[in-house]
Chains A and B, each alone.
Chain A
């Protein structure tokens, strides 16, 4: 006859900031059924679950017994599975490793109101999220839509209209006489180095003798 599990003295954390997900809940249960219990859950001194609320929930649903190991945090409690071997051809140990990582990811759904309540109560979460990440989590959006022109208010003038050519046409010449004839028609000099012209003519501005200076310079 199967041993009846005793869960007395263990209580879920009603302020757990991870709401969990439906998919994650099924995955945790599948993990326990297929590969057995892996890492331990963590209780506080009064038996409230600090970490592993979802695992406990699934374990109690399927009647998995619980063994409590008391410690004060000064040593790492290692759970050794005597029936598993990472080199085992069945792959059970290997799959448990995947379950362990994947369930953590799939079963995570932050409870924004709980985080906000914890932060407002003075809990310092700064080492866990960058400030903008926490802002994004709590406010639902990671910032404002940026219009660079609007954002540039109070900055040096930046007027940059599109002055690209309206149209570019390649003109082919039979010989140098034709080049010079064309130059005469448009009233511009064409040299061996000329790659393009503007019509109407746009003279290049000398830049080196013009600079931005400030009153202090």
Chain B
């Protein structure tokens, strides 16, 4: 099964690694990769050109925001109600169940997430949690509401919001939605195997972390988010580096509102997914 909403990967300087692209290829999930014009040759050498969308600008020095907003408008122009936007450093997707995390080999998890989100009329932003943040021994729910959604995001198109700023844009957009009374959904049942930031060469964040030749653009990034949301963001120093800390408690009363007429079947629907030992095909 493949997602019904268009999937976009925004990528820069990662034609070689292109982890998300490789993961989706392996899963046979249709996608478009969005790149800057000067990198077309490198990407076209390794990705089907029909899957490449070339941005009408390059090297703006504004991080990924212009590309993200370009993607948003592109998805609106093709008549989509939502779109997936993914970072280019996701090394596969995973399902968590029975305290085990197993890879998935097709796009069914995206369909499941889409259909779950479509049950509600006030969820403009959703996506899978990071694999390493969903603790496999902990009793966690299948999804969290009203937190931030990052890196692999299903966005509604019929909202007036757009990406802004230069840093922490996922947290900023999550917070703006939450402040407008919307809900966000972060799935624990489905996870993105995101590589740690700055471990894969390229991307927009690399430029931003080394602003003005400084090794620690993290403080600027944290300060930027605090200026955008001084009511809920504080800056702390953890593990030897600056971090922003967001208090999501003010949004705990944002409640999911079901679309009228949505009937939710009882019980389990595995969408045809089953666990298989790849060596012998046994379940």
**Residues on A facing B (Cβ under 8 Å):** 130-133, 135-136, 141-146, 148-149, 151-164, 205, 207-217
Is B278 touching A158 in the complex (CB atoms < 8 A)? no
B95 close to A142 (CB less than 8 A): no
With contacts A157-B270, A214-B273 taken as known, whether A133 is within 8 angstroms of B181 at the C-beta atoms is yes
Asked whether A212 lies within 8 Å of B265 as measured between CB atoms, the reply is no
B139: which A residues are within 8 A, CB to CB? 160-162
**Contact of A130 (CB < 8 Å), options: B97, B102, B137, B181:** B181
Q: Is A212 within 8 A of B105, CB to CB? A: yes
B1 within 8 A of partner (CB):
yes
Q: In the complex, which residue of chain A has the Cβ closest to the Cβ of B180?
A: A130
Q: Is the CB of B269 within 8 A of A210?
A: no
A and B contact pairs by CB, cutoff 8 A, 17 listed: A132-B122, A132-B257, A133-B180, A142-B254, A142-B255, A142-B257, A146-B145, A153-B267, A154-B265, A157-B97, A158-B97, A160-B140, A161-B139, A209-B278, A211-B103, A211-B278, A214-B273
A131, A149, A156, A213: the one within 8 Å of B112 (CB): A156
Interface pair A156/B138, CB less than 8 Å apart:
no
Q: Tell whether A214 pairs with B269 under 8 Å between CB atoms, given A131-B122, A132-B182, A160-B97.
A: no
Residue of B nearest to A150 (CB): B264
* B28: chain A residues within 8 A (beta carbon): 217
Contact between A158 and B274, CB atoms less than 8 A apart: no
State whether A217 touches B106 (Cβ < 8 A): yes
The answer to whether A156 and B189 touch across the interface, beta carbons within 8 angstroms, is yes
Q: Chain B: interface secondary structure? A: loop
State whether B254 touches A156 (Cβ < 8 A): no
CA distance A158 to B277 in the complex (A): 20
Q: Mark B248-283, 1 if CB is under 8 A from A, else 0.
A: 000001111110000011111111111111110000
A216→B272 contact, CB < 8 A: yes
Distance between Cα atoms of A151 and B126 in the complex (Å): 15
Residues of B within 8 A of A (CB): 1, 28, 95-106, 108, 112, 116, 121-122, 137-145, 180-183, 188-189, 253-258, 264-279
Q: How far is the CA of A217 from the CA of B105 in the complex (A)?
A: 7
Q: Verify B268–A156 contact, CB threshold 8 A.
A: yes
Q: Which residues in A have their C-beta under 8 angstroms from that of B273?
A: 156, 212-214
- Nearest CB on B from A213, distance (A): 5
Chain B residues with CB below 8 A from A143, complex form: 122, 183, 254-257
Residues in B whose Cβ lies below 8 Å from that of A132: 121-122, 181-182, 257
Residues of A within 8 A of B265 (CB): 153-154
- Which 10 residue pairs spanning A and B have beta carbons closest together? A143-B255, A148-B141, A162-B139, A154-B265, A132-B122, A214-B272, A158-B142, A217-B106, A143-B257, A163-B137
Q: How far is the CA of A162 from the CA of B122 in the complex (A)?
A: 31
A160 to B277, CA, bound (A): 21
A211 close to B105 (CB less than 8 A)? yes
Q: Beyond the given A151-B264, A160-B99, could you list 20 further A-B residue pairs with CB under 8 A, ordered by the A residue number?
A: A130-B182, A131-B121, A132-B121, A136-B181, A143-B254, A143-B255, A143-B257, A145-B255, A152-B189, A154-B269, A156-B269, A160-B98, A160-B140, A163-B137, A164-B138, A208-B103, A212-B108, A214-B271, A214-B274, A215-B272
The complex places the Cα of A149 from the Cα of B268 at a distance, in Å, of: 11
Residue among A152, A158, A207 with max Cβ neighbours from chain B (10 Å): A158
Q: For residue A148, which residue of chain B has the nearest CB?
A: B141
CB distance from B26 to the nearest CB of A (A): 10
CB distance from A54 to the nearest CB of B (A): 26
Given contacts A156-B189, A157-B268, A211-B105, whether A142 and B253 have CB atoms under 8 Å apart is yes
Residues of B within 8 A of A209 (CB): 277-279
B95–A156 contact, CB under 8 A?
yes
Complex contacts, B122 vs chain A, CB 8 Å: 130-132, 143
Q: Separation in Å of the B256 CB from the closest CB of chain A? A: 5
Cα separation A216 to B182 with both chains bound (whole Å):
35
Please give, as numbers and ranges, the residues of chain A lying within 8 Å of B266 by CB-CB distance: 153-154
Taking a contact as CB atoms under 8 Å apart, the answer to whether A212 and B274 are in contact is yes
- What residues on B are CB-neighbors of A146 within 8 Å? 145, 255-256
Q: How far is the CA of A159 from the CA of B101 in the complex (A)?
A: 12
Q: Give complex CA distance A146, B146 in Å.
A: 12
Distance of B117 from chain A, by nearest CB (Å): 11
Nearest CB on B from A119, distance (A): 15
**B256 to chain A: which residues have CB within 8 Å?**
143-144, 146, 151
Chain A residues near B116 (CB-CB < 8 A) = 155
A212–B270 CA distance with the chains assembled, in angstroms:
10
Q: Report the separation of the CA atoms of residues A173 and B40 in the bound assembly, to the nearest whole angstrom.
A: 59
| Nearest CB on B from A205, distance (A) | 7
